[in-house]
Structures are given as C-alpha cells and as structure tokens.
Amino acid sequence: MQLLPRLIGWSVPLLSEAAALLRSALLARLIGGEELGRAMVLTLVLRLAEMISDIGIDRFVMQHRGAIPARLLAALHGASLVRALGMAVLLAALAWPMAVSMADGATALTYAALALVPLLRGMMHLGFRLAERDMRLLPLAVVEGGAILAMLATLPLAALLWGDHRAMLVVMLVQAGAAVLLSHLVAWQPYRIVLKREVLGEVLGFGAPLVVNAGLMFLTFQADRLIVAGWYGWSAVAVYGVALQLATLPAQIAGRAAGSLLAPRLRGLTGAALTEVSRQALAGHVMLALAFALGFALLAPPAIALVYGPAFRPDAALALALGLAAAARILRTPLSQLALALGRTGDPARANLWRAGALVPALALAVLGQPLTLIAAAAALGEAAATARALHLARAVLFPSRLKAQA
C-alpha cells in the first residue's frame, strides 16, 4: 500500500477524534462542567438519530462489486436525502420527550434544532467516497479536515455568544455545513438527485442489518452516559463522558481507518488470500488494543486533569475499566470489516447483542447507587463478550484448517 493513502487513512480519523476531544476540553473551560454535561447529551441525541438511521451508504459504495456510474451515484444521493429527512423527523419527535425527561437540561426547541444537522449532511456530494473507494484519499482529507477546522474556528465565538450548552449545537451546524460545501468543491461530477425505488431497496437490503447493529452500537457506546445522566447528575455525566470519549478515541480512529484502508483490500478476496489479510489485520489490532489498555489506565487520569481541570479527573479503577472496554472494541474493528466484505452485514449486530446485554446490570447498579466504576466494569465485560462472539463468527475465515480438521 502506498504511503500517502496510509498516512491520510489514519490521520483523518485521528484529526476528527482529536478535534472532538479538543472541543469538549475547550467547552469544559469556557462553559463549565454542568453545561458540558448538557452539551454531551445533545450530541448523544444526534448520535442516536445518526446510528439508528445508518443504512451504510458509504459502505455500500465501498463494497459494491461493479462500477458506480453517474446514474447510480445520483440515486445514492437520493437515498442520502431520504435518510436525512427521516433523521430530521425523528429528532423533531424526540425533542419534547428529551426535554421533559432530562430535568434542567436543554429546551425542546434546542433539541428540535438538532434536526438541521442531518438535513445539511443529506446534501453532501458522494464523489469523495468514490475517490476513497479507489484509495484516492485526498478529497476525504479536504472534506473531513476542512469541516473540522471550520468547527474549531467557530467554537470560541459560539461559547462567547451563547455561554452554555447551545454552543455545541452551533458548532455542529457549522461543521455539517462546511462538510457539505467542501464535498461539492472537490467533486468532479455534477450533483444530481434521483429517487429510484430499486436502488433504495438495494441499499436498504444491504444496510438493514447495519441499522440494527448501529442501534446496538448506540446502546453500547452511548447509553451508559444516559444512565449516568439519569442517576448521577450533570457533573457526573461530564466526568464519565470525558473519560469515555477519550477511551473510545482509538476504537473510533481504528474503525474509520479500516473503512478507508482495510475495506478496499478485502473487497473481492477469497480463500487463503482473505485469511492471510484478515489475520494480519487482526494481529495488528491486538497489539494496538493491548498498548492502549495499559497506556490509558496509567496516563488518562493525570492527562484529563491537566487538560480539562482537576474536577474532571477519573479515578484509576474507572480509567482501567474504560480502557479494557475500549481495547475489546478495537479488536472487533477488523472483524466487522471482514463481515462486511463477506456480505454478512448481520454479524456485527450478532456480536454487539452481547455488549447491549451488559446494560441490564449497568442499569441495576445505577438504581442501587453503586459507584461509576462498576458501570464501567459492566461495559468492559460486555465488550469482551461481544469480541469473543465476533471471533466465533469469523472462525471460518480466520481458522479454516481447524474447521476442516474437525469436520
């Protein structure tokens, strides 16, 4: 693989996640812990709508075996717009229930304004995804990196003008609008929208299992923070949310990098070649997971206290539990890409069911008033179980000789 695509494939998600951390760190300093907790719940609601409507259009582009002519691209733009409208309706419907259920949080109008973010993103030109499919990642860097820079440039002004959690809404709108504008600027084909029932059906057929998995991933990635918000208060949401955000950063980076770098390598492979590439990817992620778990447990508490302030410092046990949970998720990254390459889009959901099951003891612990560390420990056990299930589902590719011996 050429050096430039590899460099961009890792640096773009790294920049994205680093910017999210910097955003929360600056807001912690500018608006305080309780307002940051409210802002984090705003991002959770938006993430919920994104994940449960994620029909995998970008992954459909990546894994589509044939060429993607202009007429198919226009139909995919139509599918993106349909998805965006669905997300907007969902967010509008959630506005009042969220405002009522989260006492002293954002208003219903603020929650409803989140609908503008997907409406903007629904108008993105997918040309940069076609370039990504061919391992030409410079357009991706322009779109994603430029949107991040626009968001960070707007953040101080938004915090100054609004001074509370609404600053988060403003910068998310700026980031979405910048991404849309840049996607059109780097495109080499005209932007057309066509609504084709057969293409929408094909995309939904590909993405329906991914929607189930995305819902489970929301539960596994984000629902812990909603539990904390319901039983521990806004300040605890900020402490737990900051630590969790930092812990999940490598998994997010690894997942996005694998989508740009590993997915094209897996497309079309079979037999021994598929086994070899899959094993290499898994071995690399094992090393990354082990290094991260150890480093996070040791370095996260003092680093968070230094960047965010002493009030946000997690204890060592909480950091260890969240580090182990994130390590297990990192291990699932190549397994998820392998499942997509094989057309087994339901496998990630089958694995994540085990992680979602850990929310039951987490909720029980919260109701009983147990420490936050036990909530994180339940998450770590759920992530480990999900990774074990993903390995079991991928055994036919990873360990073909062992299966033949048992047959």
Distance, CA of 343 to CA of 397 (rounded, Å): 13
Lowest mean pLDDT among 64-73, 91-100, 256-265: 256-265
Among the three residues 207, 242, 271, which one is the final residue of a domain in this structure? 207
d(CA 402, CA 407): 9
Same domain assignment for residues 157 and 242: no
Q: Examine the domain organization and report whether 147 and 20 are in the same domain.
A: yes
217: pLDDT strictly greater than 70:
no
Residues 25 and 171 in one domain: yes
Res. 169 pLDDT band, cuts 50 70 90: very high
Looking at the structure, tell me whether residues 145 and 16 fall in a common domain: yes
Could you give the C-alpha distances from 60 to 54, 232, 334, in angstroms and in order?
Answer: 11, 40, 17
pLDDT value of position 389: 94
CA atoms 73, 216, 252, 91: torsion sign: positive
pLDDT of residue 354: 86
Do 276 and 370 sit in the same domain of this protein? yes
Residue 387 lies in a domain: yes
Q: Specify if 312 maps to a domain.
A: yes
Looking at the structure, do residues 383 and 306 belong to the same domain, yes or no? yes
Determine the angle formed by the axes of helices 138-162 and 166-185, rounding to 10 degrees: 150
Q: Do 52 and 107 sit in the same domain of this protein?
A: yes
Compare 176 and 355 and report the one with higher pLDDT: 176
Instruction: Output the six-digit token pair for 116.
Output: 């503008």
Residue 212 inside a domain? The answer is no
291 and 399 co-located in one domain: yes
Q: Are residues 201 and 296 in the same domain?
A: no
Q: Is 217 a domain residue?
A: no
Measuring CA to CA, which residue among 259, 300, 299, 298 is closest to residue 281?
259
The pLDDT confidence band at residue 246, using thresholds 50, 70 and 90, is confident
Whether residue 260 lies inside any domain: the answer is: yes
Of the residues 207, 234, 268, the one at which a domain ends? 207
pLDDT tens-digit readout, 92-128: 888 898 888 777 778 899 999 999 998 999 999 998 8
Residues 239 and 193 in one domain: no
Q: Indicate if 113 and 203 belong to the same structural domain.
A: yes
The pLDDT tens digits for 19-53 are: 887 888 888 888 887 788 788 888 878 877 777 66
User: So what's the pLDDT on residue 399?
Assistant: 87
Contact, 79 vs 55, CB < 8 A? yes
210 or 199, greater pLDDT? 199
pTM: 0.63
State which amino acid sits at residue 12.
V
For 309, the domain range is 222-407
State residue 239's pLDDT score: 81
Question: Model confidence at 153, in pLDDT bands (50, 70, 90)?
Answer: very high
- Is 360 within a domain? yes
Cα separation, 55 vs 57, in Å, equals 6
If you write DSSP's letter for every residue of 313-340 in order, what string do you get? PPPHHHHHHHHHHHHHHHHHHHHHHHHH
Q: Is 213 part of a structural domain of the chain?
A: no
Task: State whether 269 and 404 are in the same domain.
Answer: yes
* pLDDT greater than 70 at residue 221: no
For the cut 60, the answer to whether the pLDDT of residue 405 exceeds it is no
Identify whether 214 is part of a domain: no
What lies within 8 Å, CB to CB, of 270 at 6+ separation is none
Find the mean pLDDT for residues 7-24.
Answer: 77
Instruction: Give CA–CA dist 77/193, Å, rounded.
Output: 5
Task: Give the whole-angstrom CA distance, residue 308 versus residue 389.
Answer: 36
Indicate the residue among 180, 207, 234 that finishes a domain.
Answer: 207
Report the distance separating Cα 151 and Cα 43, nearest Å: 14
Q: Which amino acid is at 219?
A: L
What tokens appear for 317 in the block?
A: 């046990």
Count of domains for the chain:
2
